[in-house]
Amino acid sequence: MGRNLSYIPPSIPSSIQILDFSFNPLKHLQKTVFPVLSFLRVLDLSRCQIKHIENDTFYNVKNLTTLILTGNPITYFGPGCLIFLHNLQRLVLVDVGLSSLQLPVNNLTKLQELRVGTNNIQSMSLPPFMSNFKDFSLLDLHGNNISIIKTDETVVFREIGRNMTLILSRNPLLYIEPGAFKDIYLSELDIRSAFVSPATQKAGLKTLYGLNVKKLMFGNYDEVWVMNELMENLENGVPPIQLCLHMRDFQAGKPIASNIIDEVIMGSRKIIVVMSQHFIDSAWCRFEFELAQSRFMMERNANIIIIILEDVEERKTKKVLGLHKHLKKNTYLKWSRDPLSNMKFWIRLRKAVITTNQ
């Protein structure tokens, strides 16, 4: 792993079963790249700068059950590049620049998992031949660009076995055609943070009628946004900014009101208010804002940062003591899924949090 090798050494023992060759510059895969490794079962080629995968590439490692190609800028899949991998069960193509699910996998009849998250796939339509993949149990499409789901895109899902998990989290869903999921049987459907707004989430959930699913994961839109976006960008940024989150940082067994006062209000330099309809309707959120406003008014510091996650009618902002007035007098940030606006949003938020008010 990561030894700057541009070829796979022929001296590798032929009995090896797991090979992690990630972070080595291979760039171009063809049949001659691999020595004969008949016992190899797991091959990890993550982030090897692979651009081309030629036909018959995996002939010498034909007994693979797991192939991982994460993070490679692949521009060409030869139509026969996977033809010899009859035993493949798990294929990972995360962040490889895919724009569709029309992949050369027609001979992978034993395939169980296909992970294609963080690409630019815009349709969840599977190739018709995959209806014969009776062991297929997981399709991971998280973090793609699927905004519309139509009935004709889900035909194959009705024909695949009934134990499949479908992951659609972090897709910018705008519309699901009524009946698109009718008569589909799933073990699990993950649509956390998969809608552009709470309104589209509400409408989208209604269109799931006719879906037979054992476990549905969609979560509160605000909470999912905090976990997937706010925490990810602030705590994992440079420098890291530590957040206080009730689901993680509140002391177990302690009254909620005491946790809010001790951990959030008194224990934080800045308070970030994520404003949405849920915030307006939540008694605890209103309580937190009113306490924060009281503290910072006494200290005469503008240490409340408001993020507009969802537009709320002006009259409803008056339900929260001081909120309407605060919005009129102070600059706030507004969340957007537009990439350019998104980048500016995080720069402005990080600056607001780090800046020390006098």
Output the DSSP codes for 271-331: EEEEESHHHHH-HHHHHHHHHHHHHHHHHT---EEEEESS---HHHHTTSTTHHHHHHHS-
Helical segments of the chain, H only: 155-159, 198-206, 221-225, 231-235, 246-249, 256-259, 277-281, 283-299, 314-317, 323-329, 339-354
pLDDT at 248: 77
Would you place residue 121 in the very low, low, confident or very high pLDDT band (cuts 50, 70, 90)? Answer: very high
Which residues partner with 67 through β-bridges? 43, 91
Which of 26, 78, 75 shows the shortest CA–CA distance to 47?
26
d(CA 15, CA 37): 7
With 50 as the cut, is the pLDDT of residue 172 above it?
A: yes
pTM: 0.69
Confidence (pLDDT) at 193: 74
Judge whether residue 128 has pLDDT over 90: yes
Instruction: Tell me the average pLDDT across 110-123.
Output: 95
Say what the pLDDT of residue 304 is. 87
The one-letter amino acid code at 11 reads S
Considering only 12-26, 35-49, 188-202, which range has the smallest mean pLDDT? 188-202
Residue 70 pLDDT grade (very low, low, confident, very high; cuts 50, 70, 90): very high
Provide the pLDDT for residue 252: 79
Q: What is the pLDDT of residue 1?
A: 58
Q: What was the pLDDT predicted at 152?
A: 94
pLDDT for res 341: 79
Arithmetic mean of pLDDT, 153-179 = 90
Lowest mean pLDDT among 37-41, 68-72, 203-207, 301-305: 301-305
- For the residues 108-117, what does the mean pLDDT come to? 96
Is the pLDDT higher at 292 or at 119?
119
The band of 221, judged by pLDDT with boundaries at 50, 70 and 90, is low
Say which residues have a Cβ less than 8 Å from residue 70's Cβ, sequence separation at least 6: 46, 47, 92, 93, 94, 95, 96
Q: How far apart are CA 51 and CA 281, in angstroms?
A: 51
**Position 253 pLDDT exceeds 70:** yes
Is the confidence at residue 18, as pLDDT, over 80?
A: yes
Per-residue pLDDT at 68 exceeds 80 = yes
Between 267 and 90, whose confidence is greater?
A: 90
What are the structural domains of the chain? 18-218 (3.80.10.10), 224-354 (3.40.50.10140)
In this predicted model, which residue has the larger pLDDT, 239 or 70? 70
Range with the poorest average pLDDT among 205-219, 235-249, 266-280, 295-309: 295-309
Strand duo 113-115 + 271-275: pairing: unpaired
What average pLDDT score do residues 233-242 get?
85
Residue 358 banded pLDDT, cuts 50, 70, 90: very low
